A and B are shown apart, each in its own frame.
Chain A
């Protein structure tokens, strides 16, 4: 029940980094025992604000009140002592440590590091259905399990104010529902939840109060009972939400990429992919839906030549490319937008024009004979920056300095140059803001119209349904259902993705 005293009151918070004002004049009030949603585009300053509330960063201005007392949070320890816990967007887990070790780290005094802690973990796990085994290494856990571990970590510390930074980004609808059920339970137990998201449907479904941020400051509050998506979107970006709809079909009869019974086995003999067969025609977008970790990455890596299939055949434009290596495949005309742009798509500490060369280091305009063609690459980077609206101070800027959306636009521009025949897009709009999302969708649609075959993998089901010509659902390395985007609903897909009945 909401009590008299507000759980958290942030007043006039400001935070400056060299050259950037991350937050200014931020006011947020979280009533006790409520789920409070904080929404805003990427780069609106939500994450910085959360880090301030969790004591990771110190605010330059403003005051923080928790349960009516003004506090100074110098470190996460202070925040934890004040009952604030946080689940980060990028999980804060050490892969090489066990679930137990990750859980008790920093909170060893509560239940020790031995059997008492083990029992407590099981208690929390059983109570919320987290299914956590204390002695398993975290590297063996899937994304959803890691998130459950993160939430369990916060509960283990007895937090009463729980911050969740974009918790639904990696979940399927059913899992989101399960998470929301947990959040409601937490709320009824008297906890306050701060829920950060830019998915407006979810926000409207779960939140009791909404605060909107834009460009580093709070621009308004809304009541989820009366507010509509459009009003919220306008508050967030000052414009309407883009839609991924593609319009009429451009699918041709020419098969560009074909997979025949591709099976991939890992070193322990487990099947990562089982008998995958698919065909993508020119001008077709094939969408792959699935809970993360069900073989999507392996499928992409098999096509890209990073793993050679154990059995089966892959053909590109009628040519057998099963055993080709990655560079040859790229030269043959495959563009690739990797799922994790920080790990696979970019050199974060290199300038944009060097990143332009990556993956195309054997093609014009990047090379002249055996040497790098510096001026050619730079000129072409300028072209990409302009055509794809990459907002950067210049092509000598380090990739790290760009926002996620602009990094992604640079990658899309790079992969679309050199006339690819096939585009593999893994989560192309993950973690990018609404504006960049619309731009990237536009580029994919244009590519489709120009006759490209596109393999689209996404966790955003609206995106899949909107863009794809056909949707395949993958579960445990197998295709378990084919859907027609014009008739399918996210709920149908979600059911198939989790192994429920295929409609």
Chain B
């Protein structure tokens, strides 16, 4: 039949088009960054060092965001991510001290999962308001970690009531033969575009933790599981219309439990990354609200793996820039201005005039700020990552669409 053949061709066609789009967008992005780097003469804007720091800064947020995605796709709002992450930092430290870093990561996932289990019991079984339960888990997570650290780590070598340092990190790829050096050399030439690509290659091949690759792998795996398998379809149906799912024989409670447990485990791994890769041990208050930022990245990423990846990367990048080089923050203004103007142009082409005007004005303002000043006040530098992420994502995200039954209480037998 002619109709069926057209659709068969259409679906890979769509994938191709999308990936092609992403590919071009990345190219344009690199070109713009390169341009800004040369115009402002701040080579640190995308040096291999900055990018490496950006990746390290991105990973925990990415895990929190991914955890949020799993839970919310099944209809459970998990603002307990922060607490689950804190539990993860403790778990990573404890298990690494005894059994080495890889078991440590599993331990982090396990502790995060315990936090997830609490949340699932409260919200799914007992129908507690998701926000209330989430806040409680954040408080419990912080309290439990403090208590456990004091009780357990005080007697350890390198430990104290508020920390446990000197832990082995998971395997680090210090240098990839040939590629690392060639890329670093090329990056140091500061050529347009070529050096920037080289920077990216260098950052990805030199001094990078294998856990990073696992984390990015988890994002891809989650996208595949949630959107390409029947398990994922069932899980998402629980977030869209649990009553309908129930009438079709989906065990809604079970899927919500699985989703929230996975969510907790991912947040825990994020905490583990903080303790083992970002720093070399457990420290109280180490998460610093990254669970919430992950949640925000997921929301502005429109409950989509690609979107949350963008959000986490934006935050991670601006955060690392702030820490490495305050001058670069000023250059960032130009970058943000160009990004906003680009989006404005895109909207204008699509005929969304109002959106185009808002973005255009915002872009022009940021551009004026860049042109009229030489540096950004210190007070602003501190909040750069937050403001930029909010700005780019809030203005860039169109029509946020959360799962239809997200955050709603669901009772078995309520169908019909």
Contact = CB atoms under 8 A, between A and B. Distances in A.
Interface of A: 47, 50-51, 54, 56-57, 75-77, 80, 86, 88-90, 92-97, 101-102, 104-109, 112-113, 115, 118-119, 122, 134-135, 153, 165
A106 B243 CA distance: 12
A56 B415 contact: yes
A192 B58 CA distance: 58
A88 B415 CA distance: 9
Given A56-B416, A92-B415, A93-B244, A119 B4 contact: yes
A118 B250 contact: no
Nearest to B232: A113
B237 interface: yes
A95 B240 contact: yes
Q: Which 6 A/B pairs are nearest by Cβ-Cβ distance?
A: A106-B248, A108-B230, A77-B249, A94-B240, A92-B244, A94-B241
Contacts of B141: none
B311 interface: no
Given A51-B415, A56-B415, A108-B230, A93 B249 contact: no
B161 to A, nearest CB: 47
B256 interface: no
Contacts of B178: none
B4 A122 contact: yes
B413 interface: yes
B15 interface: no
Contact of A92 (B10, B234, B247, B401): B247
Interface in B199-255: 229-230, 233-234, 236-237, 240-241, 243-251
Contact of B247 (A76, A112, A115, A119): A76
B1 interface: yes
Given A96-B404, A107-B249, A118-B4, 7 more contacts: A76-B246, A80-B249, A88-B247, A89-B416, A93-B241, A96-B403, A97-B240
A318 B117 CA distance: 64
Contacts of B7: 118, 134-135
B8 interface: yes
20 contacts: A47-B416, A51-B416, A76-B248, A77-B249, A88-B247, A92-B248, A92-B416, A94-B244, A97-B237, A101-B237, A104-B233, A105-B233, A106-B234, A106-B250, A107-B248, A107-B249, A118-B7, A119-B4, A122-B1, A135-B10
Interface string B94-128: 00000000000000000000000000000000000
A86 B415 CA distance: 12
Nearest to B403: A96
A105 B4 contact: no
Given A75-B249, A106-B248, A106-B249, A113 B233 contact: yes
A54 B247 contact: yes
Interface in B1-57: 1, 3-4, 7-8, 10-11
Contacts of A112: 230
Contacts of A51: 413, 415-416
A119 B237 CA distance: 22
B248 A105 contact: yes
Nearest to B413: A57
A94 B406 CA distance: 12
B402 to A, nearest CB: 9
A105 B416 contact: no
Contacts of B4: 118-119, 122
A81 B245 CA distance: 16
A240 B67 CA distance: 60
Contacts of B11: 135
B50 to A, nearest CB: 38
Contacts of A101: 233, 237
Contacts of B229: 113
B1 to A, nearest CB: 7
Contact of B404 (A94, A107, A122): A94
B413 to A, nearest CB: 5
Contacts of B249: 75-77, 80, 106-107
Contacts of B241: 92-95
A57 B413 CA distance: 6
Interface string B245-270: 11111110000000000000000000
A75 B7 CA distance: 35
User: Which of A80, A97, A106 gathers most chain B CB within 10 Å?
Assistant: A106
Contact of B250 (A96, A105, A115): A105
A221 to B, nearest CB: 24
Nearest to B303: A96
A109 B250 CA distance: 13
B236 to A, nearest CB: 7
A125 to B, nearest CB: 10
A88 B240 contact: no
Contacts of B8: 115
A122 B8 CA distance: 13
Nearest to B11: A135
Given A94-B237, A94-B241, A101-B233, A50 B416 contact: yes
B382 to A, nearest CB: 39
B7 to A, nearest CB: 6
B246 A97 contact: no
Contacts of B401: 96
A56 B233 contact: no
User: Which of B3, B241, B247, B248 gathers most chain A CB within 10 Å?
Assistant: B247
A90 B250 contact: no
A104 B404 contact: no
A50 B247 CA distance: 12
Contacts of A118: 4, 7
A484 B396 CA distance: 54
Contact of A105 (B1, B3, B245, B415): B245
A105 B413 contact: no
Contacts of B3: 122
Interface in B296-326: none
B247 A104 contact: no
B236 A106 contact: no
Contacts of A104: 230, 233
B137 to A, nearest CB: 26
A113 B232 CA distance: 11
A106 B403 CA distance: 19
B12 to A, nearest CB: 11
A192 B401 CA distance: 40
A96 B405 CA distance: 11
Nearest to B402: A96
Contacts of B237: 94, 97, 101, 105
A114 B240 CA distance: 20
Nearest to A80: B249
Contact of A56 (B10, B236, B246): B246
Contacts of B236: 97
Contacts of A165: 416
User: Which of A92, A105, A122, A153 gathers most chain B CB within 10 Å?
Assistant: A105
A97 B236 CA distance: 9
A89 B243 CA distance: 13
A109 B234 CA distance: 12
Nearest to A51: B416
Contacts of B250: 105-106
A94 B415 CA distance: 13
Contacts of B416: 47, 50-51, 54, 56, 88-90, 92, 165
A112 B243 CA distance: 22
Nearest to B250: A106
A267 to B, nearest CB: 9
Nearest to B238: A94
Given A113-B230, A119-B4, A96 B240 contact: yes
A88 B248 CA distance: 12
A17 to B, nearest CB: 10
User: Which of B240, B243, B248 gathers most chain A CB within 10 Å?
Assistant: B248
A106 B234 CA distance: 7
